[in-house]
Chains A and B, each alone.
Chain A
């Protein structure tokens, strides 16, 4: 049984349909990436999974239970976390308060101490700056804080929405090595990226989304061989 199964979801923004019959699944312990151009429906897919948007039809099954009718906070409680595009930190709180907010859930609060230690071990710079206000951190540090805050939730599925967006090339490498590292430690990850070159390399399995529809799937190696993918996304 897959950890996450998305079955034929259709999501609308008001009158206009953004997702058409999107179906895919994420196995436990794998790193799956959703590739596509701007406006293809990647962010919409993630927002629908975490409950910020509700699908008009279709099902989302997590750990064997349907979650698409639950409110956002209950989906979070089931163990899904999203590291949103643009970080979405709590700008006027300091680093540590942001992390504490991450462990607000009862089940996460129990592990607050050990998770906090783990996050500080993973990102020593956050420990150094734990009293600094989040909005005054650099872009890279903000991304680390956003990842750290998500880890505080003790999630079973981590979803990244464009984690490399707006970062300097060297930091992009850094973010991808963090993602690889989390994957190696056993985390299940759903990654959305425009940086297809990088994403294909770290992923176990890929889906390509175009105009709100899944149009192709396969392993990174398979997609790299595909003419259309090479032309459209890899610039080769």
Chain B
């Protein structure tokens, strides 16, 4: 059994890599806009279906549609952000709860629309990456790495380093971090908070939807898949510390590894239970996440 451990670890890292991408956007949106977007899984689902239908209609490989999905959903996020901003800065009591309810409602609506228009059957996204795999034979240990999962990890690394670069090295990124770290002071520096929020929300929705394609080609897609990924994003971000971006990759890898270990050694049905027990214990010990740096 122990010979399966390296395979479990590698599977975990490969799956965790994909979680990084939408969790990092989720954390960024939380940091800048102070919103917990319960529709994150639905953005993943919608992006996946867009890839699926584009592939069916145009016949091109799904991977080709990654930038298309990013642009389309980025635009949707950009025009949706002012509405969320209005809900969050409204004069009603408890605006953060309103924001939570608003995105939860959006998520439910998207899921309902998904069921109506896409049906309840599962599909898989076809790409040229789906078929191949690499094998490593190290005597006692045999490891298989499907090409599509490796591609997923590369995708995750590109997104992570790309976002890190933007946040660290560009004026837009510095402004976004300024808003996340001290909203009023950012305004005093001349940062247009609403504009920055729109771009951040656009980037986050775009990335989440694009990740749907990757997830769809590794697993399968259906209209109700969103809930699971909302939970995953939530788990990763809370574990990393709300709004603490640097913690996201580690939390995502941890989640991936836990999941892979349960798939191989235990009953896969227990995965979510295990995930939440781990989250519970860690938050009990360190309420601000793994690194104690969250809000």
Binding site for B on A (CB under 8 A): 50-52, 71-73, 76-77, 81-82, 84, 88-93, 97, 100-102, 104-105, 108-109, 149, 153
Contacts and interface: CB of A to CB of B under 8 A. Distances in A.
Contacts of B175: 101, 104
The bracket for how many chain B residues form the interface is 10 to 19
B191 interface: yes
Contacts of A90: 177-178, 181-182, 185-186
A69 to B, nearest CB: 15
A73 B181 contact: no
Contact of A104 (B181, B182, B184, B191): B191
A72 B178 contact: no
Given A84-B185, A88-B182, A108 B190 contact: yes
Contact of A88 (B184, B192, B193): B184
Contacts of B181: 90-93
Interface in B161-200: 171, 174-175, 177-178, 181-182, 184-193
Contacts of B192: 71, 73
Contacts, number: 71
A175 B185 CA distance: 20
25 contacts: A52-B184, A52-B188, A71-B187, A72-B184, A72-B187, A73-B193, A76-B189, A76-B190, A77-B190, A84-B184, A88-B184, A89-B182, A89-B185, A90-B185, A92-B177, A92-B181, A100-B171, A100-B174, A101-B174, A101-B186, A104-B178, A104-B189, A104-B191, A105-B190, A149-B189
A104 B185 contact: no
Interface of B: 171, 174-175, 177-178, 181-182, 184-193
B10 to A, nearest CB: 33
Contact of A93 (B178, B188, B193): B178
B174 A104 contact: yes
A73 B187 CA distance: 5
